[in-house]
Structure 1
């Protein structure tokens, strides 16, 4: 797999420019480079990537399939770098730098990302394999170029300034775009090669995501899938920076940011759950008020499940009881409920996993008004690879089968 450290943004720009103009001579004029220099730049990129990107012919250059895939990624990566540079300068009320994406280097961006991740120049140097002076120099050169402070010492650590935080987002998006290009090139050699990173929120997709992952793994045995679990704000932030490709879980209304899109897949019905043999299971009928007589474990205020839990009681004209324990960990909740007559509110597909294990039982449905839409969230400008397209397709079909199955089963609620 190629490494970004071995590439040069200006060389990548040379490839994209020559491909767009269809001529080495026209590209050299556009970039103010000699033809030999531009030819050498293209050759260096092709050597690093291990693919011929441009075929030289008497009438100009013709883009190969590898070149078509890669130049699109290069152009988007350069656009991100340009956007980041403009954002930093605009935030400091400085005039824009012409062709800022040709002035910034990949080494500078990688150094800034490494320092931000490590919190110090020494650790950043260790992680990148560069010397500490080299990392320091790259970061400071970037500051001088943009004429804006990017890193500030706070005690023993080095922290990004507000300007750096803006730039880092676009740097990471450029990084992700080029990495996607590498994956597409790898797929030319080995069908199904590549990767996808899926963000998932706690309590979300206990059944469907594993099913989709299993199907995907069988169809694409050489593909790599990373599943990252975390709170919504964390996975959303990673999605917007390109570290995560798609987020699976409950949809938000309204969306907290404008640069992502949601695709609904199915409705999820929360259920009231207790241990096997819970006293409520032995009572004839179901009296909602009896839920007040047992201890509850539920997520902390602000969590979507907590809001639905409170709504459930309010719709019955009852004040929600004070939760004895607030917790969002599935493992802790399960262990606690097995010890006594605790109750909780759980996603139906999460409950099905517990039901299969013979540990917990459904006390009652929570009511149709508490249904929530489950879907996928992606960046508005995300350009998925073919492999990532295939994963989304598999996940959609898995959800469609689940929805169809629920419609046939009916799954009536035990109270209205």
Structure 2
């Protein structure tokens, strides 16, 4: 039974501090003073009989108790917000899904699944809000209840922990260059030649970057001086097409260009099997019929690969 001493303001303050890892930024978001946020968090910790945050010179971090509480508090607030929204939008038949998308599924899987899912809906209005970003950010939003689902390659992500991951298929990273690149068609290709050219690679602290670093270790390579670190597919594509850069790209992102001959895979495998692409959900959140239906469509589209 919920303690009557726990108020909505306690939960809101807790979620904002957990999200921003800062009492000051939480205070800005809540439009109250920083001492007011600190007092509210202390009240909540007194009620629960445990510390929810570990304070340090670099800010605050969730304690183990805080992580446990977050698994339930985030989805609870999200469910309440959905209930309020559902009452307000019932006459319009509105339906929304909030989906986190990693770059590994932005080109084919997710757009195809969204179109197919919307096509099989009834006359109800269907809305899908897609948030792109790094796995650490998207999974934290899923844990907070800010997202209903995260799709992409994330099995190496430490942030999955208590979330539920369902494998769909394996997706390799590839070394690709524009057609006519000096290294195109060279076989066998000595790994050392790669560092003569600029690279386009995922940013640090991403699951994809871990594979790039492992590749460099296996072949005793140092990253070249000219680097473009980005998860943006349009920027990576244009930068690669207009120069001599080597792009470490998810296969899905370049499959159309490979088939059209606009880019070429180098004769040096970065990965053999690739990473597991799948969908991640928060088991503490009650899935809606819309979410269950969308996940089923994702499975169907993935199986057609």
Larger radius of gyration: 1
Please name the residue that 1:101 is paired with.
Answer: 3
Alpha-carbon offset, residue 362 of structure 1: 3.0
The answer on 1:124 being equivalent to 2:30 is yes
Provide the TM-score with structure 2 as the length reference. Answer: 0.74
Please name the residue that 2:144 is paired with.
Answer: 241
Unaligned runs of 5+ in 2: none
Alpha-carbon offset, residue 274 of structure 1: 0.7
Alpha-carbon offset, residue 153 of structure 1: 11
Alpha-carbon offset, residue 384 of structure 1: 0.8
Q: Which runs of 4+ in 1 moved over 4 A?
A: 111-118, 120-123, 131-154, 158-169, 180-191, 253-257, 310-315, 353-359
Choose the corresponding residue for 2:81, options 176, 179, 186: 179
Alpha-carbon offset, residue 271 of structure 1: 2.2
The answer on 1:327 being equivalent to 2:229 is yes
Alpha-carbon offset, residue 391 of structure 1: 0.9
Please name the residue that 2:169 is paired with.
Answer: 266
Please name the residue that 1:110 is paired with.
Answer: 12
8 Å CA contact 1:266–1:375 kept in 2: the answer is: yes
Unaligned runs of 5+ in 1: 1-98, 404-416
Q: Over residues 178-204 of structure 1, what are the superposed CA-to-partner deviations in whole Å (9 max), with x where a residue is unaligned? A: 23445666797565x322211122454
Distance change in 2, residues 1:365/1:226 (3 Å): farther
**Which is bigger in relative contact order (C-alpha 8 A, separation at least 6)?**
2
Q: How does 1:386-397 map to 2 (within 5 A)?
A: 386-397=289-300
**C-alpha distance in 2 between matches for 1:136 and 1:256:** 26
Alpha-carbon offset, residue 140 of structure 1: 7.4
Distance change in 2, residues 1:380/1:172 (3 Å): closer
Distance change in 2, residues 1:278/1:122 (3 Å): closer
The answer on 1:348 being equivalent to 2:251 is yes
Alpha-carbon offset, residue 108 of structure 1: 3.8
Q: How does 1:145-160 map to 2 (within 5 A)?
A: 145=47
SS of structure 2 residue aligned to 1:243: coil
**C-alpha distance in 1 between matches for 2:35 and 2:166:** 47
Choose the corresponding residue for 2:95, options 176, 186, 194: 194
Alpha-carbon offset, residue 161 of structure 1: 8.0
The answer on 1:289 being equivalent to 2:190 is yes
Distance change in 2, residues 1:272/1:286 (3 Å): same
Provide the TM-score with structure 1 as the length reference. Answer: 0.56
8 Å CA contact 1:125–1:132 kept in 2: the answer is: no
Please name the residue that 2:113 is paired with.
Answer: 212
Choose the corresponding residue for 2:272, options 369, 384, 391: 369
**C-alpha distance in 2 between matches for 1:296 and 1:133:** 49
SS of structure 2 residue aligned to 1:102: coil
Please name the residue that 2:178 is paired with.
Answer: 275
8 Å CA contact 2:72–2:284 kept in 1: the answer is: no
Query: If each structure's helix is expressed as a fraction of its own residues, which one has the higher value?
Result: 1
Alpha-carbon offset, residue 386 of structure 1: 0.4
Q: Over residues 353-380 of structure 1, what are the superposed CA-to-partner deviations in whole Å (9 max), with x where a residue is unaligned? A: 5558975333347276242221111123
**C-alpha distance in 1 between matches for 2:5 and 2:86:** 27
* Number of matched pairs: 293
